[in-house]
Amino acid sequence: MRLRAWAAARGRFVLRVVLTILVDVLALLVAYADAAVLPETPALATVDLATADGLRTVAGTWRYSDAKVSAAAFRSAGTAGQPTGDPVETYDIVPHAGAAGFDDSEWQMIAPESLSQRRGNGRLSFNWYRLSLTVPARVGSIDVAGTTAVFETSVDDYAEIWVDGEITRAPQQSGGSVIAGWNATNRVIAARHVHPGQNIVIAVFGANGPLSNPPTNFIYMRSARLSFHASAPGAVAMAPAEANVEVIRNDPALDEIVSANPKLFKLAEGFEFTEGPVWVAGDGYLLFSDPNSNIIYKYRPDGDLSVFRRSSGYEGADIAEYHQPGSNGLAIDREGRLVVDEHGRRRVSRVEKDGTVTVLAASYGGKRLNSPNDLVLHSDGSIYFTDPPFGLPKAFDDPRKELAFSGVYRISDGRLDLLVDDLTGPNGIAFSPDEKFLYVGDWDEKKKVVMRYPVLADGKTGAGEVFFDMTSAPGEDAIDGIEVDVNGNLYVSGPGALWILSPSGRHLGSVVTPQHVHNMAWGGDDAKTLYLCARGGLYRMPMGIAGVRR
């Protein structure tokens, strides 16, 4: 009996040791996962957003609305478990107030001290709190420019947190989704490398819980704070995290392009502005520009992010005057060399295999180019590029500007030909799959059009026509990057979304991402992955049709 008792006691001891080790290991994993998302440094400054003084510090406003469950039409699981089966009735929660650009102007404005007030109707109930704030220059004596802003709240009972239209989904996260726990403190990054005057919109979705047996109490916010932490330099990659995406379907033909259950993955963040991506086939990686920070980045699908080239577009003594001194459009020529549009240097160049740089075009008619923006390569090796003045410090009004127009050009056999000179801000550029047409997007807030030009036998272009007009579409953005798939569909960065147009000019639908897409490139072995440069983030999205790489 004593032997059995000793053995049992020893077994319990060993079990406790094993459990303790497992708990410690799990804690380390959680800490590691959180470290990848949240800064480990102590807060340099903290603002209490539940007080009038704190809210004034960030020029903030709180708005509130109840949310409700509503009936919704959907489809049952069909092929591969996707929602493609028979029509069914299900439920939704409205409004979807976490989306970027959501209009909450009609919502009730509430005082910060009232966040602790019980809201919702009790039992199974939901609500929204939306906070709009502006990053101050200082908090007390602390200069917060360049820091990482972290939003923290505790909602009774559950919360989801959206920042500028995006909800973070990451393993072991301590904020964002309800997996953080009942009455848990939620912490999410509001922005990295903040700058004074930057606007941030935070939407907090509250839910009464436990959901499986709704309680008799109500929803309220226990705390709300914004803390500023020292930022690690540069952008950061992350394990591909599924991000929210909305697809507007105008035509059944879109179903072949974007699946019924679309997926968008965030790959990296913390950039100043992302642009000009190109996939390097064979080696299997993506290059893309951050023209604001004057860097070309390299991203591998395994999650490795590195700086490929610094001073990518300029290094003059007056660089501080430039908003976008760096490179923009990138392309890989037939010999595997990188072709670069350099904003600040106002030229198109090529990086040779030994790392030296060859200038391909820098002036036209004896006058310097504006700031080459985007480019596309023809199968014969010639280079077509756009040249608006957006890279100059004062754009159209910059005294450095020498040309009286913004052109579309062709470089072939060392010769520079002007093809188009009547667009305000020629930007995105792409060929049809058969290269019979050249598409050019115009960044003109008064005339947001995609132009189509026939490509003549000598490589020059004929008279253009308006292929698609987005002028009446809401949104500040005009036309930016353009890509084409093997069926001839166009993918256009237009007002508020990535627009998908058929070869005949039908608007098949739009993809709305958390951050507005400005440019894209086809990647992967099968060219069915669309890499999206969206302001401060890099994303990828699987597509149903392969793209055309140039």
Tell me how far apart the alpha carbons of residues 344 and 365 are, in angstroms, rounded to a whole number. Answer: 20
Extract the tokens encoding 456: 């003549």
The closest of 432, 494, 446 to 468, measured between CA atoms, is: 494
User: Three-state secondary structure along 347-379?
Assistant: EEEEECCCCCEEEEECEECCEECCCCCCEEECC
Q: DSSP H helical segments within 38-58, as ranges?
A: 52-57
Nearest-angstrom CA–CA distance, 68 and 126: 6
Residue 318 burial class via C-beta count within 10 angstroms: exposed 0-12, middle 13-18, buried 19 and up: exposed
Question: Rounded to an integer, what distance in angstroms lies between the CA atom of residue 423 and that of residue 403?
Answer: 13
Q: What integer pLDDT is reported at residue 217 of this predicted model?
A: 92
CATH superfamily of 45-229: Galactose-binding domain-like (2.60.120.260)
Structure tokens at 11: 């077994």
CA distance 152 to 163: 12
pLDDT of residue 440: 98
Domain ranges in the chain? 45-229, 236-542
User: 376 with 459: CB under 8 angstroms?
Assistant: no
Tokens representing residue 322 in the block: 């430039």
Residues of the chain with pLDDT under 70: 1-40, 169-181
**What CATH homologous superfamily does 236-542 map to?**
TolB, C-terminal domain (2.120.10.30)
Q: Which tokens is 186 given?
A: 């939620």
CA 77 – CA 430 distance, rounded (Å)? 37
| Residue 467 and residue 386 in contact, taking contact as beta carbons nearer than 8 Å | no
C-beta of residue 343 within 8 angstroms of C-beta of residue 322: yes
Residues sharing a CB contact under 8 Å with residue 74, sequence separation 6 or more, in sequence order: 83, 87, 88, 89, 90
pLDDT tens digits, 328-375:
999 999 999 999 999 999 999 999 999 999 999 999 999 999 999 999
Task: Indicate whether this model's pTM tops 0.75.
Answer: yes
Nearest Cα neighbor of 538 from 301, 341, 322 is 301
